[in-house]
Chains A and B, each alone.
Chain A
Amino acid sequence: MKIEILGNSDTRSGFGAGLSQLGETHKNVVALCADLTGSLKMNDFQNKYPERFFQAGIAEANMISMAAGMTIGGKIPFTGTFANFSTSRVYDQVRQSIAYSGKNVKLCASHAGLTLGEDGATHQVLEDIGMMKMLPGMTVINPCDYNQTKAATIAIADHFGPVYLRFGRPKVPIFIPENTPFEIGKALMLKEGTDVSIFATGHLVWEAVEAAKTLAEEGISVELINIHTIKPLDNESILSSVTKTKCVVTAEEHQIAGGMGESIAQLLAKNNPTPIEFVAVDDKFGESGKPADLMKKYGLHSSDIIKATHRVLKRK
C-alpha cells in the first residue's frame, strides 16, 4: 500500500460520519449519548434522526443497560461517551447486561489514551483495551485515522455481537485510502519488509509509518502491519510475518499490561517464541499537557519505535 498524507482530521469525526451514514442505510441503528454529543461528533445523527437518538444525561450506567434493553426488539444501539466512561465506569453493566447477555451493542469510545491531553489522567484511560478484551465474546477495534474509523463504524453495524470501538480526540494525518475495505479481525498490511515486524494500532500507526521511513534510511527493512482489530486477533497474519522477520515491535496508546502487545506476546509465546519490544505506557498514569508532548514524555513517539526496533534487532 502506498502511504501518503491525504488530509488531517480526528478519528472521532470519522465515527460521527460513519454513524450518520448508518442512520441512512440501517434503520435499526439507534444512538445513545451521555452528555458528550459534540465531543463524540454525534450531532449530525441527532439532527437527522432525532427519533433514534437518546440523550442519557450524565448517567453512563443507565445508558449502557438501556442500550442492552433496546436490542430486544431488534435495535442496534451505538453508545457514545469518553473511553474512560465507556469502560471502567460501567464495567459491570457492560459485563452483565451486554457481554454475558450476548447483546448486540456497539460501545463507541472517544478521547482514549494520552492524546486526550490537557484534561489529564482522570480522563486519559490507558486500561480500556485490557478491560474489554477480557470479556468473552467482546470484539475490540482501535482504528488509526479518520477513514478507517468511519469504515469500522459502518462495518460493526453488520457484525452481530458486542463491540468496543476505540478512537480519539486530536487531529491526526489521514493516510488510509477512503475505499480501503475494513474487515473485522483481518490485519492490514501497510508495508512489506524482512528485518522486523512492527504491529501498531490506533494513533501509533502513523508514528510507526514515520519510524519505518527513518529505519529504511538506515537500511532496516520494516514490515508494518496495522492491527485495527485487537480481538479477535489476526493470528495468521502475525505468525506469518514473524516467521519471516523473526523479531517484533508493538506500538499502542495503552498500558503494556492488557494491551495489544500483550495479546501478540501471548500468541507468539505459544506458537513461535520471538524477541519482542513494547512501545506502550509502562504502568503509569498520564497527566495534563499537549498531546504531542505527552506522547514523547510517555515513550509513544516515532523515535521510541525506532529505539525499540534497534533493541529488538540486537536480540534476534
Chain B
Amino acid sequence: MEKDKIKELNSFASQVRRDIVRMVHAQNSGHPGGSLGCVEFFTSLYQGIMNHNSNFNMDGINEDLFFLSNGHISPVFYSVLARSGYFPIRELSSFRMIDSRLQGHPTTHEGLPGVRIASGSLGQGLSVAIGAALSKKMNNDKSIIYSLHGDGELQEGQIWEAAMYAAANNVDNLISTIDYNGRQIDGDVDDVLSLGDLNAKWEAFGWDVMSCNGNSINEIYTTLENAKLKTNNGKPIMIIMSTEMGYGVDYMMGSHKWHGVAPNDEQLQIALNQLEETLGDY
C-alpha cells in the first residue's frame, strides 16, 4: 500500500476518533470502546474500498453496501458517514439528543442518509446483509455487500442460521467482518461465553475465512482488497479482525470498562491530547 494513502487514511482516522470521544462526552452517553476499535475498518471501507455514493438512495443499485449489525458502535459509523459526505458534519453534535437523526442506535426511521436498516438488537445484520446480497444477484448487480459484527454478538443464534444459509446458497458477493476485540459488557468474551475456535467455526460452516490486525490501516485495507478478489468464487467471505477496544486512547484500552461509558471533562481532554485534530472538529 502506498505510504501517502496510509498517511491520508490515518489522518482521517485520527479525526474520527476525536469525533467519537466528543460525541459520547457531549451527551454523557454512548459506546466509545468498540467505536474506537473499528475506526481503521470504517475508514478503509468508506475512504477507498467501497464503491459508494454519498448522494443517498435506499436501493443502492450498482453501489457496494455496508450493514452495521452491532449498532451500538454508531459513533464511528456516524462520524465516517458524515465525513464521507452523507450528511453535514455539524450534525454529529446532535448524537443521542431528542429530535435527532443520530439515534443511539442507527435507524432508517429518521431518514439519516447512509443507514439502510435499524440495528441494535444484536444478531440480525448478517441475515439482512445476505438478503441484500441476494437482491443484488437477482438484479444482476455485480456490487459487493459488506457487514460488521461484534464478537460478543456471535453468541446470538441467528448469526449461525445466517452463516449456514449463506454458505449453503453460495452467497459469494458478501464480505462480512468481525470486530474481534475479545470483550463484551460483562467482561472478557472468554469468561462470559467463550466462542471457542472462531476460525474453525466459520470454516466448518463453509466460509472463506481471512484474518488481520484490524487496527492497522495497511493490514485491514490490504485484507479487504484481497477479499474483494475472492468474491464470486462460490463462498461467502469472513474477515476476523483482531482489534483493541478503545484503540487510540490509552486509558480506554486493555479493559471492557469503556464499552458503554462516556469520558468526563478531564478524561475527554486527556483523550483529545492523544488524538491529532487533522480535519477540523465539528
Which A residues have a C-beta under 8 Å from some C-beta of B? 30, 51-52, 54, 56-57, 59, 61-75, 77, 92-93, 95-97, 100-103
Contact = CB atoms under 8 A, between A and B. Distances in A.
A101 B228 CA distance: 29
B158 A69 contact: no
13 contacts: A52-B138, A57-B161, A64-B127, A66-B128, A68-B128, A69-B67, A69-B117, A69-B135, A72-B131, A95-B121, A96-B118, A96-B124, A97-B127
A211 B55 CA distance: 59
What 9 A-B pairs are tightest by C-beta distance, nearest first? A69-B131, A73-B135, A65-B127, A66-B131, A62-B161, A59-B161, A69-B128, A69-B132, A70-B131
B259 interface: no
B124 A97 contact: yes
Per DSSP, chain A at the interface is helix
A93 B116 contact: no
Given A73-B60, A92-B121, A101-B108, A66 B134 contact: yes
Contacts of B158: 61-62, 65, 93
B264 to A, nearest CB: 32
Contact of A74 (B130, B135, B168): B135
A52 B135 CA distance: 10
A59 B60 contact: no
Given A72-B60, A72-B132, A74-B59, A100 B107 contact: yes
Contacts of A102: 108-109
A96 B103 CA distance: 14
Contacts of B168: 57
B131 A68 contact: yes
Given A62-B162, A96-B120, 19 more contacts: A65-B125, A66-B128, A66-B130, A66-B134, A67-B131, A69-B127, A70-B132, A70-B135, A72-B58, A72-B65, A72-B135, A73-B59, A73-B136, A73-B138, A74-B135, A96-B118, A96-B119, A100-B109, A100-B118
Given A72-B60, A72-B135, A59 B165 contact: yes
B109 A62 contact: no
Given A62-B127, A62-B158, A97-B124, A73 B141 contact: yes
Interface string B134-177: 11101101000000000000000110011011001100000000
Interface in B60-94: 60-61, 65, 67
B129 interface: yes
Nearest to B171: A66
Contacts of A54: 134, 169
B59 to A, nearest CB: 5
Contacts of B119: 96
A286 B129 CA distance: 38
Contacts of A62: 127, 130, 158, 161-162, 165
A77 B132 CA distance: 12
A302 B243 CA distance: 65
B125 to A, nearest CB: 8
A69 to B, nearest CB: 2
A220 to B, nearest CB: 48
A73 B61 contact: yes
Contacts of A75: 135, 138
Contact of A97 (B58, B61, B128, B133): B128
A73 B109 contact: no
A240 B149 CA distance: 53
Contacts of B136: 73
A178 B135 CA distance: 34
A57 B164 contact: yes
Nearest to A27: B138
A73 B130 CA distance: 12
A67 to B, nearest CB: 6
Nearest to A61: B158
A121 B165 CA distance: 30
A51 B130 CA distance: 16
A92 B125 CA distance: 13
A97 B117 contact: yes
Contacts of A61: 123-124, 127, 157-158, 161
B74 to A, nearest CB: 14
Contacts of B162: 62, 65-66
A37 to B, nearest CB: 16
B131 A65 contact: yes
A71 B120 CA distance: 20
A56 B138 CA distance: 17
Nearest to B58: A72
B213 to A, nearest CB: 29
Contacts of A101: 107-109, 117-118
Contacts of B107: 100-101
A1 to B, nearest CB: 41
Contacts of B125: 65
Contact of A66 (B61, B116, B127): B127
Nearest to A100: B118
Contacts of A71: 131, 135
A252 B159 CA distance: 37
Nearest to A52: B138
Contact of A93 (B108, B120, B124): B124
